[in-house]
Amino acid sequence: MATLNLTLKVWRQENAQAQGRIETYQAKNIPDEASFLEMLDIVNEELVHEGKEPIHFDHDCREGICGMCSLTINGVPHGGKKVTTCQLHMRQFKDGDTIWIEPFRAKAFPLLRDLIVDRSALDKIIAAGGFVDIRTGSAPNANNMPVRKKTADAAFDAAACIGCGACVASCKNSSAMLFTSAKAAHLNLLPQGYPEKNKRVLAMVRQMDALGFGNCTNQYECEAACPKGVSVDNIAKLNRDYMIACASEAIGVFS
Amino acid sequence: MNDIITTACKFVTSSIGRKILVALTGACLLLFLVGHLAGNMTIYGTTAEGSWIDVYATGLHSMPAWLLWAIRLGLLAVFAVHVLLALVLKYENYNARTHYQKEGTLKATLSSRTMVITGVMILCFLLLHLWQLTLNGDPANCYEHVVRGFQNPVSSVAYIVAICCLFMHVRHGVQSVMQTLGLGTRKVRPLYNIVAVLFALVVCAGFISIPLAVLTGILH
Amino acid sequence: MKDIKFPESDYMPDSCIPDGPIEQKWTKYKREAKLINPNNRRKYTVLIVGSGLAGGSAAATLAELGYNVKCFCYQDSPRRAHSIAAQGGINAAHNYQNDGDSVYRLFYDTVKGGDFRAREANVYRLAEVSCDIINQCVAQGVPFGREYGGLLDNRSFGGAQLKRTFYSRGQTGQQLLLGCYQAMEKEIGKGHIEMHPRTEMMDLVVVDGHAKGIVVRDLVTGEIKSYAGDTVLLATGGYGRVFFLSTNAMGCNVGAACACWKKGAYFANPCFTQIHPTCIPVKGDYQSKLTLMSESLRNDGRIWVPKSRETAEKIRKGEMKASDVPESERDYYLERKYPSFGNLAPRDISSRAAKEACDDGRGVATTGRGVFLDFKDSIARMGKEWIDGQYGNLFEMYEEITDVDPHKEPMMIYPASHYTMGGLWVDYNLMSSIPGLHVLGEANFSDHGANRLGASALMQGLSDGYFVISSTLPTYLTTQKPGSVTTAAPEFKEAEEAVKARIRKMMDVKGTRTPDEIHRELGKLIWEDVGMGRTKESLMDAIEKLPAIRDEFWNNVKIVGSTEGINMELEKAWRVAAFLDFAPLLCYDALAREESCGAHFRLEHQLADGEAKRDDEHFAYVACWEYKGTDQLPVLHKEPLTFDNVHLAIRSYK
């Protein structure tokens, strides 16, 4: 088992109001089998023993599904290896590397401490319309409504989003289009979500705009950074659906 | 009626609505580029009375004034919407962002990242271009005017640089239009990319050929 | 070795199981249950702690009904609760496959899978509502796997003889949770749920014997706050991280459940902890968590260790590759011991067999705690493409984590703590022994007995949240005047002060060891002594050593930072302290249960062939433990289990 010695350039900021700065740490004897977050655990353990405050970061499941971990590594959210930060392993790095670790940055994601940001804006987009408005207990038999396998698969591909916010953090414009479009596409594609399609699209897009995200310029940086491979096809679909929804709202066609 | 106005207002203030307007106006401008290039290519044709381009330019100017001005104002409006909305979107995008100490890029092309820069360069060039050829030109002596203009290497180089900016702008613009108008899918996106590059190459090569032809003496 | 005599009490709260034949209990209950007028529902405040499948579905459903819901979770969004990590699927008795499934069969399989230590009435209800869950989720837009005809597909799972498991690729938990989360966000948007993310429950507030509020810590500001309500719903998941290394999320903890236990809620069957056989083995001391590889891999992988210790030693040292071990040198121990089920033996059996092989010195992996899961034969038989079609993403995930290509070298796996069947005791209404405190999902003990079958956890969480609590909650609420208790009650102030004092006490220790180091030490001890194979000696060893670790914490923990603002060291320390309070209970229960059943395996109690030897005569009961103080033994209450509808039999998977 090889070990690595690394230089870390880490964003430190005591709280939302404080002035942030990059600090340099040496990570010594890091096993190359460790995950990126375990590497930070090791560094933190040392910091604590020295009586210093550990580097604060968000994490929970550590198996790439909860979407809580949120580090920008060398300028790319999750490090750009098509996995979440918690699934990134140190063997991806070389001995002597300098690694820049910053939070997921966007105005819509206010920083709370060090590498922890507040991504509740994403929840607000869902609350605006990212659901099927049914009551518990009123559902018909699950097999009453067949769904084409292809459609179900496409809906699943969109639903694979883990809501980590890497799309926003990687976007040069801090746009939340990939997130919003993926959830809208998931529900709009399925017959169960179809009745509310126009309403959903308008509500989600308007909420997204109101939250201060930027505008998509079709650079597809989001898709490249997405640990779940959510496709920008969803963005095209949302653009399409938005036009239809506006037409429906304004003049009643397509409704 | 109220619904229409309310929705229209919401549409033109929404992110997607404005993007769609930028895309639609951009598509119009792409068509204009094609037409303009076709017109410019007449410089390579000669008749007994002189260059085709002189005939073409005279023909353009002999249109009824109302039609000429309608086309001009229409183009101006399209252009203004494209530029203004693009700048507003850019301003918002800039404000939505917090910058990284170390920036990284995975996929965004250089042309996509420099759309505003190339766009503004094109705008500046366009003003110069209009001033030089539309305001101070004589349609009957268009050929001579163009050739004389490009014999000045400074003019030629400036023109070539501007067209290179146009290349960058169009290269991202074409496929971006398709995506914004909701026509992008995983299957056709690579095709759009190729079309975008080819389109930009053909158009820009066409435009650049003229100063090059002048500088190399093919046109004189 | 001296014996521990646990104080016992004859008192046992009524489990409130309706009379009548089992098929009619739930129907009868609903027919006779109290109702609350829709206009009056909003006057009741329901506090829900946890936003996973159980808490989230309860929050959404109760808010739809009109209750005033406040929901709390420690994550930054309710969508991140650890239910999201469940891979395999969710069972339901729809019988869409026409292979003979029925509510009764699902009920029977669950009771048998739980080795006859679950309450019949609860399990039957679970099986009854299982179909409603699928209907509900599909209507929410959960993208379950489908067949080309457009109807739902099913797979077979974990020892079941029929196909009743609904799935969304390998992310069923995620998709179900998102359905639940979206329903919650819908209600949040309408103002019916007040969501408090990044908020951890620190204590339960009991007023006049009823649970009427909670004390929480705002994890962003560090502020200690109280919320009052008419009832408290606890849906805080399991305590698997008492082993430190587990497949649970880093934040999963027993803090809230432990606080309720200390306030008088009985803790039931804590020794029923499930160990999942197919996890990636431990790499080193720095390791933070274990990753589960789907159990489905056992359908086509063959599990083996070298026959000789020498070969195993060479493999551990890297002097020999697994693929170079000749067939004659391999011991396919599961196939050898359990010829009919082979590599598909239930979780507890295959976990224990792996431990035995490693204890015998034939384990692989650098630590010696690992066995091989080999796809060589399947690849040779079915082709690489077919295998990739079945397990492609799992193979990629394995290679990503270990840097070993499972096409070429066998996978290495080892059991790890995964799920806890034990939890706070609840009656048929899901109410604990503290009136007003309801417990849902993994946090309660009710449905899985001594062992949980695959694809049952999601079913239970959603059943409790969507369909059970909405019917049973009025039974309690109608006895209460809405809004009768506010945070002005002195009990709130008292509880807040106690929490603050405890925080201050741990912050003031200013010792030398980090919370993680102490947690790791605790986990190691519990894993060694109270893990897969338990003996009286090992349990006594743990019971003797635990106080020292607890003292170490309270005398030598080092928590840097302050109580204000985000302080993840303090969060960890708080959770470790709860695990330290809880760990002895786990040992006591395992010690008191002098039998082997399901996941609880006492080496003293096994049949000649190494199977679990259940003792129905003496231990067919739910062990409910009442807290009596840190240094006191808890009091044991017994809820007898009767089986009128299934025949008590020895589980046989041979």
Find chain A residues with C-beta within 8 A of C169's C-beta: 156
B85: distance to nearest CA of chain A, Å? 11
Cβ density class C70-108: b for 16+ within 10 Å, e for less:
bbbbbbbbbbbbbbbbbbbbbbbbbbbeeeebebbbbbb
**Which of A215, A235, A242 is the closest to B89 by Cβ?**
A215
Residue of B6, B94, B98 best to disrupt the A interface, most CBs of A under 10 A:
B98
Chains that touch A (3 or more CB pairs under 8 A): B, C
**Which of C64, C80, C286 is the closest to A60 by Cβ?**
C80
Residues 6+ apart with CB under 8 A from C543: C4, C584, C587, C588, C591
Residue of A81, A200, A209, A217 best to disrupt the B interface, most CBs of B under 10 A:
A217
pLDDT class of B114 with cuts at 50, 70, 90: very high
A67, with CB counted inside 10 A (0-12, 13-18, 19+), is buried
A192: distance to nearest CA of chain B, Å? 23
Q: Using the predicted structure, report yes or no on whether residue C121 has a pLDDT greater than 70.
A: yes
- Report DSSP letters for C437-497, one per residue: EEE-GGGB-SSSTTSPPTT-HHHHHHIIIIIIHHHHHHHHHTTS-TT---TTSHHHHHHHH
Find chain A residues with C-beta within 8 A of C138's C-beta: 139, 142, 145, 192
Find chain B residues with C-beta within 8 A of A219's C-beta: 107-109, 112-113
- Which listed residue (C119, C347, C575, C651) is catalytic? C347
Find chain C residues with C-beta within 8 A of A204's C-beta: none
Chains A and B: how many Cβ contacts under 8 Å?
151
pLDDT class of B46 with cuts at 50, 70, 90: confident
For A3-113, the fitting CATH number among 3.40.50.2030, 3.10.450.50, 3.10.20.30, 3.40.640.10 is 3.10.20.30
Average pLDDT over residues C309-316: 94
pLDDT at C654: 62
Q: Using the predicted structure, report yes or no on whether residue A180 has a pLDDT greater than 80.
A: yes
pLDDT class of C376 with cuts at 50, 70, 90: very high
When the pLDDT of each residue in chain C is averaged and rounded to a whole number, the result is 94
pLDDT class of A123 with cuts at 50, 70, 90: very high
Q: Percent of chain C scored above 70 by pLDDT?
A: 99
Residue-wise pLDDT tens digits, B80-110: 999 999 999 999 999 999 999 999 999 999 9
Are 3 or more Cβ–Cβ pairs between C and B shorter than 8 Å?
Answer: no
Sequence letter at residue B194:
I
Contact A175 B8 (CB under 8 A): no
Chains that touch B (3 or more CB pairs under 8 A): A
pLDDT class of C321 with cuts at 50, 70, 90: very high
Element at A22 (helix H, strand E): strand A21-31
Residue of A57, A63, A89 best to disrupt the C interface, most CBs of C under 10 A:
A63
A219: distance to nearest CA of chain B, Å? 5
Where exactly does CATH 3.10.20.30 map onto chain A? 3-113
C498, with CB counted inside 10 A (0-12, 13-18, 19+), is middle
Q: Using the predicted structure, report yes or no on whether residue C158 has a pLDDT greater than 70.
A: no
Distance of CA C25 to the CA centre of its chain: 27
Identify the CATH number of the domain defined by range B2-215: 1.20.1300
Residue-wise pLDDT tens digits, C542-572: 999 999 999 999 999 999 999 999 999 999 9
Contact A206 B99 (CB under 8 A): no
Encoding tokens for residue C446? 């009710």
Q: Strand, coil or helix: what is C291?
A: coil
Residue-wise pLDDT tens digits, B160-188: 999 999 999 999 999 999 999 999 999 99
What is the DSSP secondary structure assignment for residue C279, as one 8-state letter?
Answer: E
ipTM: 0.97
**Which of A1, A52, A65 is the closest to C174 by Cβ?**
A65
Find chain A residues with C-beta within 8 A of C140's C-beta: 131-132, 134, 139, 192
Please report, for chain B, the start and end positions of each structural domain, with discontinuous segments joined by +: 2-215
Contact A173 B96 (CB under 8 A): yes
pLDDT at B220: 81
- Is residue C43 within 8 Å of residue C477, measured between CB atoms? no
pLDDT class of C299 with cuts at 50, 70, 90: confident
Residue-wise pLDDT tens digits, A184-241: 999 999 999 999 999 999 999 999 999 999 999 999 999 999 999 999 999 999 999 9
Where exactly does CATH 1.10.1060.10 map onto chain A? 119-250
List Cα–Cα distances, A212 to A20, B93, B203, C397, in angstroms. 22, 9, 38, 36
Residues 6+ apart with CB under 8 A from C111: C118, C120, C123, C449, C643, C646
pLDDT at A255: 59
pLDDT class of C652 with cuts at 50, 70, 90: low
Q: Does domain A119-250 have CATH number 1.10.357.10?
A: no
Find chain A residues with C-beta within 8 A of C174's C-beta: 65, 160, 162
**Which of A60, A143, A193 is the closest to C250 by Cβ?**
A60
Contact B97 A214 (CB under 8 A): yes
Q: Rounded to whole angstroms, how far apart are CA atoms A14 and A21?
A: 10
Contact A49 C514 (CB under 8 A): yes
Contact A172 B108 (CB under 8 A): yes
Residue-wise pLDDT tens digits, B125-174: 999 999 988 777 788 888 988 999 999 999 999 999 999 999 999 999 99
Average pLDDT over residues C88-116: 94
Question: Among the listed ranges C178-192, C316-330, C464-478, C489-503, which one has the minimum average pLDDT value?
Answer: C316-330
When the pLDDT of each residue in chain A is averaged and rounded to a whole number, the result is 96
Average pLDDT over residues C187-210: 98
Q: Rounded to whole angstroms, how far apart are CA atoms C489 and C228?
A: 9
**Which of C185, C251, C402 is the closest to A126 by Cβ?**
C185
B160: distance to nearest CA of chain A, Å? 26
C633, with CB counted inside 10 A (0-12, 13-18, 19+), is middle
More confident residue, C184 or C391: C184
Chains that touch C (3 or more CB pairs under 8 A): A
pLDDT at C273: 96
**Which of A15, A66, A135 is the closest to C249 by Cβ?**
A66
What is the DSSP secondary structure assignment for residue C534, as one 8-state letter?
Answer: B
Q: Using the predicted structure, report yes or no on whether residue A254 has a pLDDT greater than 80.
A: no
Residue-wise pLDDT tens digits, C597-639: 999 999 999 988 778 899 999 999 999 999 999 989 999 999 9
Average pLDDT over residues C169-188: 96
Q: Using the predicted structure, report yes or no on whether residue C439 has a pLDDT greater than 80.
A: yes
Q: Rounded to whole angstroms, how far apart are CA atoms A237 and B1?
A: 28
How far apart are the two ends of chain C, measured CA to CA in Å? 36
pLDDT at C650: 75
Find chain A residues with C-beta within 8 A of C181's C-beta: 126
Find chain A residues with C-beta within 8 A of C282's C-beta: none
pLDDT at C392: 82
List Cα–Cα distances, C628 to B203, C205, C424, C585, in angstroms. 85, 17, 16, 11
pLDDT at B139: 80
Residue-wise pLDDT tens digits, C227-240: 999 999 999 999 99
Single pTM value for the model: 0.96
pLDDT at C295: 81
Q: Using the predicted structure, report yes or no on whether residue C41 has a pLDDT greater than 90.
A: yes
Contact C366 A132 (CB under 8 A): no
Q: Rounded to whole angstroms, how far apart are CA atoms C345 and C335?
A: 9
pLDDT at C1: 62
Closest CA to A203 of A253, A131, A134, A119: A131
pLDDT at C345: 80
Residue of A28, A65, A117 best to disrupt the C interface, most CBs of C under 10 A:
A65
Q: Using the predicted structure, report yes or no on whether residue C492 has a pLDDT greater than 90.
A: yes
Find chain A residues with C-beta within 8 A of C188's C-beta: 123, 127
A40: distance to nearest CA of chain C, Å? 10
Alpha helix positions (H), chain B: 2-13, 15-41, 52-61, 65-96, 110-113, 115-129, 142-151, 153-180, 189-215
| Beta carbons within 10 angstroms of residue C17's beta carbon | 18
Contact C514 A192 (CB under 8 A): no
- Annotated catalytic residue C381: no
Residue of A220, A222, A241, A254 best to disrupt the B interface, most CBs of B under 10 A:
A220
